[in-house]
C-alpha cells in the first residue's frame, strides 16, 4: 500500500488520549490560539502473531485485547473534550501498524504537517520489549527498549535482524518535528511477570527477550533522519509512561471493556476533572485511581518537563467535568460515550438515567450497552427537551441504579493442585456472596492461592518479608498477585479452614466494592467538601475533595495544596483530622468509613450525646452537618494517629439529605474499643454497606422511574460520595 493510500484509509479513524495528560499545557495554548493546529497519531495493536511473541507461546493466547480500545478512549477525549478535528487524528490499528506503516504515518501526518507552535500527540499501546544486540557489537550486553509493531518478528538464524522500533529511533524521529509542543504516551511495558496473571489481566510486554545482529533499516527512516542525529538523552517534548521500568504494565477487563490500566485511568481523569489542575497533579490523581488495582506507577518525563508547569485553566472546551457525551442521535434514541463514568459504576450504566449538563431533559435507560457506548431512550422528552440532546452534548448521570445482588468474584489460583482447586471451589460455594472462577481470563476481584516459592516482582512490592514467599500458606491476592495485607497464613492449613479464616476479609472486599460503586464526585448536585488536615507534627491541609458540579466557594486553604505532591503520603506518627463542609441550604447526613493499611474497614462512631434535661439524641442525628457549617471528626480534642504498617488508606464519605437510619442501626451494635471514635467493622462490614445503600435508596426524592424492586435507586440531587486516598510511609 502506498503511503498516501495508507493515510487516507487510516485517517477516518480517530483516537487519542495519551496527549490529554501531558499536553494539558499544550492544549491550553492551542485553544488560546485557534490558528494553531492539533495533530495526533494513535497506534494500538491487539493481534500479535506467534512469529512476534515466540512459538513457545502458541497456546497461551498472546493477543492483547485493550490496545485498540485505548485509541478509542483517546479519540473521543480529544474530539469532545479538547476540540481536536477528526481529520487531524490518524489511527493505526493491528495490521495497519507495521514498522513501515508507523514510520510513514509519522512522516506524512506529523512531520510533514506540524509547524512551529502546533500541538502534536503520539500514542502507542501494544507490546514493549527488551532486546540485546548480538555478539561483536559494543552494546552486546546493554538491553534496549523497543516498541513492537505488528510485524516485529523475532530474529532467527536465517534472518538475525530486529524488526522492532527502538525507543532511541523514536526519540530521533520526534527530534525532526518543527513543533515543540509534543507529547508522547506509551502504554506498553518492558518486563513480564514471573507467574501468569489472572482475573482477565494481561501484561503488555513481549513474553521473550530476543537477541539480534542489529535493526533493519528503512529507506524512509534514513530519508527522515538524514545522517541520524545523536539520540537525545530525553524524549523531545513530554513523555507519559504507563509504569516505572521495573514494574508490570497491564491491561484490565472492566465488565467486557478491555483497556490499558493507565490509558483508562488517565482518560477518565481528564473527563472528570475541572481546571485549574497542574499536570503533575493530574498524574497524581491518575496513579491514585490505579493503585487499587495494581502497583503500577505512571511516570512523567521528557525535555520539556518542569515542576513549575502552569495550570491549564481555560484549556477545556467544557469547564465542568462530565460523565458522557452524545456521539450519535437517531430520532428518539441517542448513543453516549461513557468516558468519564467511574469504572466501578460502569457495569450498571445501562440502567442509569442521564441528563444534559446545563439543560433539562432526563433520558431513560436504553435497551443496550456495548463497551463504553450506551443507548438512552428519549421518547419521554418534549420537543423542546429533545433539542438539548444533539451530538456533542455534555451529559451527566442523574440517577444511578445499582443491583441489590452483587457478588465478589474470587479467582482460584491455577498453580494449586487439582484437589486444592476442587476443595476451594466447594468452600467458596458455601458463601452466598461469593462467585468463584478457575478461568484465568474471567474478570475477578481477588485471587485465592499461595505465594510462589520465591517472591515475584509484583507480589514483593511494599510487603514485609514475612508476608512474601517465605510462607506457603493460603492467602488473598489482587489479580496482579500483589498480596492483600494480613491474609497469608502459615503452612498446614486446610482449605476449608483457610476460607473460614478469610471470610471476614472477603466480606470487607465486597463491602468496599459496593460502596465504591456509589462514588459520584462529578455528577452529584450536593455541595459538599471533605478536607484532610494534619494536626501534628505540624498543622496543614493535606488533601481536599469536593463535588464538582455545584459552584463551591474557594477554600482559603487551597493554596496549601498546590505544593502537595500526589499521590499523597503521610508519615507514621502523624496525627490527622477530617472536616466535612456543607454548602447546601439543607442539613446533610453522612457516614464515614475507611480501609486502612491492614485492610481493616473502619467507621466513625461518635459517642452518645445527652443534652441537659433532654432525651438522648438518636444516633442518626449525630451524623449531621447543618447548612453552612463544618463537622470535624473525630470530635472534641481527639485526632487519629497514622500507625504501622505502611500501605494505602482509602476513605469514603457518603452523604444524603435524609438520615442513615438503617446504617446507624448497624453502627449502634458496635462500640469503639477506645476513645478514638473509630470502630473496626469486622464481620459487620457487609451489613453496613447494604444498609447504606438501602438508606440512599429510600432517600431518593424521585422514585417514579420504573426501577425494579431488586435494585437500589440513587438520585444525584440527594446523594454524594467522595473518595480520598493517601499512602502511609515511614
The predicted pLDDT at position 307 comes to: 56
387 contacts: CB under 8 Å, gap ≥ 6: none
Quick count: other Cβ atoms within 10 Å of Cβ 613? Answer: 5
Pick the residue with more confidence: 691 or 645? Answer: 691
Residue 359 CA to residue 386 CA, distance in Å, equals 11
Is residue 244 predicted with pLDDT exceeding 60? Answer: yes
The predicted pLDDT at position 545 comes to: 93
pLDDT class of 3 with cuts at 50, 70, 90: very low
371 contacts: CB under 8 Å, gap ≥ 6: 69, 256, 257
Task: Give, to the nearest 10 degrees, the angle between helix 279-290 and helix 24-32.
Answer: 130
Is residue 222 predicted with pLDDT exceeding 60? Answer: yes
Instruction: Match 481528564 to its residue by C-alpha cell.
Output: 270
Residue 93's DSSP bridge partners are 44
The predicted pLDDT at position 613 comes to: 66
The predicted pLDDT at position 464 comes to: 39
The tally of CA atoms less than 13 A away on the side-chain side of residue 688 is 30
CA angle 194, 292, 186 (to 5 degrees): 65
Is residue 61 predicted with pLDDT exceeding 60? Answer: no
The predicted pLDDT at position 408 comes to: 96
The predicted pLDDT at position 276 comes to: 67
Q: What helix, strand, coil percent values describe the chain, rounded to 5?
A: 25, 25, 50
C-alpha cell at 640: 487519629
Is residue 694 predicted with pLDDT exceeding 70? Answer: yes
**Of 297-311, 419-433, 525-539, 567-581, which range is least confident?**
297-311
Instruction: Match 513481549 to its residue by C-alpha cell.
Output: 206
pLDDT class of 331 with cuts at 50, 70, 90: confident
Strand duo 257-260 + 202-203: pairing:
unpaired
In this structure, what are the phi and psi dihedrals at residue 253, rounded to the nearest 5 degrees?
-115, 110
Mean pLDDT of 424-444: 93
The predicted pLDDT at position 272 comes to: 86
The predicted pLDDT at position 665 comes to: 94
The predicted pLDDT at position 708 comes to: 63
SS3 271: helix
pLDDT class of 309 with cuts at 50, 70, 90: low
Is residue 12 predicted with pLDDT exceeding 50? Answer: no
Length in residues, the chain = 730
pLDDT in tens, 71-82: 999 999 988 888
Residue 640 CA to residue 678 CA, distance in Å, equals 9
Q: Burial letters for 549-580: b for 16+ Cβ neighbours within 10 Å, e otherwise?
A: beeeeeeeeeeebeeeebbbebeeebbbbbbb
The pLDDT mean for the chain works out to 85
Is residue 221 predicted with pLDDT exceeding 90? Answer: no
Mean pLDDT of 391-395: 93
Residue 493 CA to residue 500 CA, distance in Å, equals 11
632 contacts: CB under 8 Å, gap ≥ 6: 577, 578, 579
In order of 319, 396, 603, 655, the CA distances from 549 in angstroms are 10, 9, 27, 15
156-160, 234-238, 589-593 — most confident range: 589-593
Instruction: Match 438522648 to its residue by C-alpha cell.
Output: 616
Pick the residue with more confidence: 356 or 137? Answer: 356
The predicted pLDDT at position 22 comes to: 35
- Under a CB-based contact definition with an 8 Å cutoff, are residues 234 and 175 in contact? no
Instruction: Match 505465594 to its residue by C-alpha cell.
Output: 451
The predicted pLDDT at position 10 comes to: 37
pTM (two decimals): 0.88
pLDDT class of 173 with cuts at 50, 70, 90: very high
Amino acid at each position: 500500500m502506498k503511503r498516501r493510500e495508507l493515510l487516507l484509509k487510516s485517517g477516518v479513524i480517530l483516537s487519542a488520549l495519551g496527549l490529554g495528560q501531558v499536553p494539558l499545557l499544550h492544549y491550553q495554548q492551542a485553544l488560546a490560539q485557534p490558528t494553531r493546529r492539533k495533530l495526533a497519531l494513535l497506534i494500538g495493536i491487539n493481534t500479535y502473531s506467534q512469529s512476534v511473541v515466540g512459538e513457545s507461546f502458541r497456546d497461551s493466547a498472546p493477543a492483547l485485547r485493550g490496545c485498540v480500545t485505548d485509541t478509542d478512549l483517546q479519540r473521543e477525549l480529544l474530539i469532545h473534550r479538547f476540540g481536536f478535528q477528526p481529520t487531524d487524528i490518524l489511527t493505526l490499528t493491528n495490521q495497519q501498524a507495521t514498522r513501515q506503516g508507523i514510520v510513514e504515518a509519522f512522516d506524512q501526518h506529523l512531520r510533514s504537517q506540524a509547524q512551529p507552535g502546533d500541538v502534536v500527540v503520539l500514542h502507542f499501546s501494544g507490546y514493549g520489549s527488551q532486546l540485546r544486540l548480538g555478539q561483536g557489537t559494543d552494546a552486546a550486553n546493554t538491553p534496549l527498549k523497543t516498541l513492537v509493531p505488528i510485524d516485529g518478528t523475532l530474529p532467527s538464524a536465517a534472518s538475525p535482524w530486529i524488526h522492532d522500533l527502538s525507543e532511541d529511533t523514536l526519540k530521533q524521529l520526534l527530534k525532526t518535528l518543527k513543533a515543540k509542543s509534543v507529547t508522547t504516551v506509551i502504554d506498553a511495558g518492558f518486563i513480564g511477570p514471573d507467574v501468569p496473571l489472572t482475573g482477565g489481566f494481561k501484561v503488555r510486554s513481549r513474553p521473550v527477550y530476543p537477541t539480534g545482529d542489529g535493526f533493519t533499516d528503512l529507506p524512509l527512516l534514513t530519508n527522515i533522519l538524514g545522517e541520524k542525529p545523536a539520540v537525545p538523552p530525553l524524549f523531545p517534548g513530554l513523555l507519559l509512561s504507563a509504569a516505572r521500568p521495573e514494574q508490570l504494565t497491564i491491561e484490565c477487563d472492566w465488565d467486557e471493556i478491555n483497556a490499558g490500566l493507565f490509558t483508562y485511568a488517565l482518560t477518565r481523569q481528564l473527563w472528570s476533572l475541572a481546571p485549574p489542575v497542574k499536570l503533575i497533579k493530574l498524574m497524581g490523581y491518575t496513579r491514585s485511581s490505579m493503585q487499587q488495582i495494581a502497583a503500577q506507577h505512571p511516570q512523567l518525563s521528557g525535555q520539556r518537563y518542569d515542576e513549575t508547569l502552569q495550570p491549564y485553566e481555560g484549556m477545556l472546551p467544557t469547564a465542568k467535568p462530565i460523565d458522557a457525551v452524545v456521539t450519535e442521535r437517531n430520532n428518539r434514541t441517542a448513543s453516549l460515550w461513557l468516558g468519564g463514568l467511574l469504572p466501578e459504576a460502569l457495569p450498571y450504566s445501562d440502567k442509569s438515567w442521564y441528563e444534559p449538563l446545563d439543560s433539562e431533559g432526563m433520558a431513560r435507560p436504553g435497551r443496550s450497552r456495548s463497551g463504553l457506548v450506551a443507548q438512552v431512550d428519549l421518547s419521554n422528552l418534549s420537543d423542546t427537551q429533545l433539542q438539548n440532546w444533539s451530538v456533542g452534548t455534555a451529559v451527566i448521570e442523574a440517577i444511578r441504579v445499582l443491583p441489590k445482588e452483587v457478588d465478589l468474584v474470587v479467582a482460584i489460583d491455577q498453580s494449586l493442585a487439582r484437589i486444592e482447586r476442587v476443595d476451594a471451589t466447594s468452600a467458596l460455594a458455601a458463601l452466598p456472596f461469593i462467585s468463584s472462577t478457575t478461568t484465568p481470563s474471567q474478570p475477578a476481584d481477588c485471587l485465592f492461592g499461595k505465594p510462589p516459592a520465591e517472591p515475584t516482582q509484583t507480589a514483593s512490592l511494599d510487603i514485609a518479608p514475612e508476608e512474601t514467599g517465605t510462607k506457603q500458606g493460603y492467602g488473598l491476592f489482587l489479580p496482579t498477585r500483589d498480596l492483600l495485607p494480613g491474609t497469608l497464613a502459615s503452612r498446614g492449613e486446610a482449605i476449608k479452614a483457610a476460607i473460614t479464616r478469610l471470610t471476614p476479609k472477603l466480606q470487607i472486599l465486597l463491602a468496599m466494592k459496593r460502596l465504591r460503586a456509589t462514588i459520584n464526585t462529578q455528577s452529584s448536585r450536593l455541595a459538599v467538601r471533605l478536607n484532610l488536615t494534619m494536626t501534628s507534627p505540624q498543622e496543614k491541609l493535606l488533601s481536599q475533595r469536593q463535588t464538582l458540579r455545584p459552584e463551591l466557594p474557594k477554600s482559603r486553604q487551597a493554596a496549601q495544596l498546590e505544593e502537595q505532591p500526589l499521590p499523597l503520603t503521610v508519615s507514621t506518627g502523624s496525627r490527622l483530622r477530617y472536616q466535612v463542609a456543607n454548602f447546601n441550604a439543607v442539613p446533610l447526613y453522612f457516614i464515614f468509613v475507611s480501609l486502612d493499611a491492614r485492610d481493616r474497614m473502619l467507621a466513625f462512631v461518635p459517642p452518645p450525646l445527652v443534652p441537659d434535661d433532654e432525651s438522648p439524641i438518636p444516633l442518626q442525628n449525630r451524623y449531621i452537618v447543618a447548612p453552612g457549617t463544618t463537622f470535624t471528626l473525630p470530635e472534641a480534642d481527639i485526632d487519629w494517629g497514622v500507625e504501622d504498617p505502611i500501605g494505602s488508606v482509602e476513605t469514603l464519605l457518603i452523604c444524603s439529605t435524609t438520615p442513615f437510619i438503617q446504617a446507624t442501626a448497624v453502627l449502634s451494635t458496635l462500640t469503639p474499643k477506645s476513645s478514638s471514635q473509630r470502630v473496626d467493622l469486622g464481620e459487620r462490614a457487609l451489613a453496613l454497606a447494604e444498609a447504606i445503600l438501602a438508606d440512599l435508596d429510600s432517600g431518593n426524592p424521585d422514585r417514579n422511574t420504573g426501577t425494579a424492586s431488586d435494585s437500589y435507586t440513587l438520585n444525584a440531587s440527594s446523594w454524594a460520595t467522595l473518595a480520598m486516598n493517601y499512602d502511609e510511609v515511614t
